[in-house]
Amino acid sequence: MNSDPTSANLDNKRHQLLMREKLIILLGRLTQMVKIHQDNNELLIKAAKDFVRTVVALMGGEDHMTIESSRGRFYIQNEKLLYRRETAAMTYAVLTYFEKLDLIGFRFGHGIKNCPQKEIFTFARMLNHAVAETNPFEWLCQNIEKGNFQWVEILLEPEMNIYDISIEKKDKTRKIYAYAYNTVKEVAEKISSRKRTGIRKAVRVVQNLADLVIEDDPILLGLCTIRDYDDYTYTHSVNVAILSMCLGQQIGLSRKSLVRLGICGLFHDLGKVDVAIEIINKPGKLDQTEFKEVQKHSLNSVRQILKLQAFRDLKARIILPPFEHHLKYDLSGYPTVKWEKPISLFGRILAIADVYDALTSPRIYRPTALSPDRALGLLLEGSKRDFDPILLKWFINLLGVYPVGTLLKLENGEMALVVDTPGESNRTRPRVVLVCPDGGGAFRKGEIINLSERDNESGEYRRNIVSSHHPSAVGIQPAEFIT
């Protein structure tokens, strides 16, 4: 028996290399065999089972497995596939297949393990059919979406390698946030310059955000405290997307639904590119004419989304919620509509996330913003009129009595930022990071403490909350301290 750890490690690496190679060969074999065999053919059934087993094995402990093609190479789980002479012909054949489909790759989820075998056959036949279409990539995207396969997604942009174990989780999260910010900014700037633009990058980044939302990572809510005074529109769009997806996750939406909801959030204010910058940045109160111009942005968002280069089915699924996000729960908002039916679920979610982020953000016409807990109180006043009361309760439960990013003044004179909210048992005593003066007029990050801690002798709480404030009141950007 070989107990040499170095040798065992080399054997494991070789096994992984062979498994990646096997996956490409099996994919090529599967697409060829479905052309000539019926679903009950034993060889075809075996090929499908082998393909599924190999995908699952390559996932290991990850939530998914990706196949990507780039510059004449395949990458499996971000690892370059090394070509061997014995299998080069089949590998190049599959690579050519990807090129014909204008395909970057696929992302397979754990659902493939228990999916009906018929779906594997249908998936392989779709690949064959797409090659004969005028626009194979768009056809494939539309039909995989219609098939409602829960175990496979088409990669719309190369993976950002956020799952590299050498990168800390908080850095991955920041990277995705920055990517989302830059994506929505790029789309808006291209629209303003009357240039054609697509949404592949936007969909890809929202897919990555969905993964973080599903992980229920408090770091993501921490990043929603980013307040960019100069580029408010872009940070607001990203924050609304994240808050909406977090609420969607709380009420049990599927991952695919979370992705669509996130895209709606990212583009809900796209119509503001049609509003004069002088109106957007006006320091005082808008007059009636100016306010009417601003009110057009909901409908303009729909118009701009329809102009984007994207497959029609996706655009059809994301235009309604941006139109609805200012309609209000009782339909008394804008734009004026004559229908009596309630607004869509996504529209109701966007409405809550949009107003919450707006209330907690300093603006040029309102330099002081509400603290997160007070913003929730104001939203609660609009329950049943402006907001869906059930969704609003879910949202408040999600953020807690003192949402992440709230600045607290403690009884002993210390200041602290909320970094995480506790469970139901003690919601008024969150985990916080102390914010300490650095002696130069700014602040430094202090100790992370739990406000539910008690003194061992007296049993009394060690620290008590006196009041809550918005961090901008003392010039603090919460994301710098809590992520």
Do 282 and 358 have their domain in common? yes
Residue 220 contacts residue 265 (beta carbons within 8 Å): no
Judge if 296 and 438 occupy the same domain.
Answer: no
Residue 299 and residue 368 in one domain = yes
474 falls within a domain: yes
Tokens read off for 475? 């010039």
Cβ atoms of 408 and 418 closer than 8 Å: yes
Same domain, 321 and 282: yes
Report yes or no: 180 and 241 within 8 Å, Cβ to Cβ.
yes
Residue 162 falls inside a structural domain: no
Residue span of the structural domain in which 321 resides: 169-399
> What is 452-480 written as a DSSP string?
T-B-TTT--BS--EEEEE-GGGGT--THH
68, β-bridge pairs: 75, 105
pLDDT (tens, 9 = 90+) of the chain, 483 residues, equals 455 555 555 566 777 888 898 999 999 999 999 999 999 999 999 999 999 999 999 988 777 888 988 777 888 887 888 777 778 888 888 988 888 888 888 989 889 999 999 999 999 999 999 988 888 888 898 888 888 888 998 887 655 444 343 346 667 778 888 888 888 988 998 898 888 888 888 888 898 899 889 887 677 887 787 766 557 788 899 999 999 999 999 999 988 899 999 999 999 999 999 998 888 878 778 899 999 999 999 999 999 999 988 777 788 889 999 999 999 999 999 998 888 888 999 999 999 999 999 998 877 666 667 888 999 999 999 999 999 999 999 999 999 888 888 899 999 999 999 988 766 657 789 889 999 988 877 888 999 999 989 988 888 999 999 998 888 778 888 877 876
Q: Is residue 160 part of a domain?
A: no
Residue 64: inside a domain: yes
CATH number of the domain within which 177 lies:
1.10.3210.10
Smallest CA-to-CA distance from 342 within 382, 400, 387 is with 387
Q: State pTM to two decimals.
A: 0.72
Pair 437, 453 in one domain: yes
Q: How many CB atoms lie within 10 A of CB 306?
A: 12
Dist. CA 32–CA 24, nearest whole Å: 13
Do 86 and 190 lie in a common domain?
A: no
Residues 19-32, buried b or exposed e (16+ Cβ, 10 A)?
ebbbbbbbbbbbbe
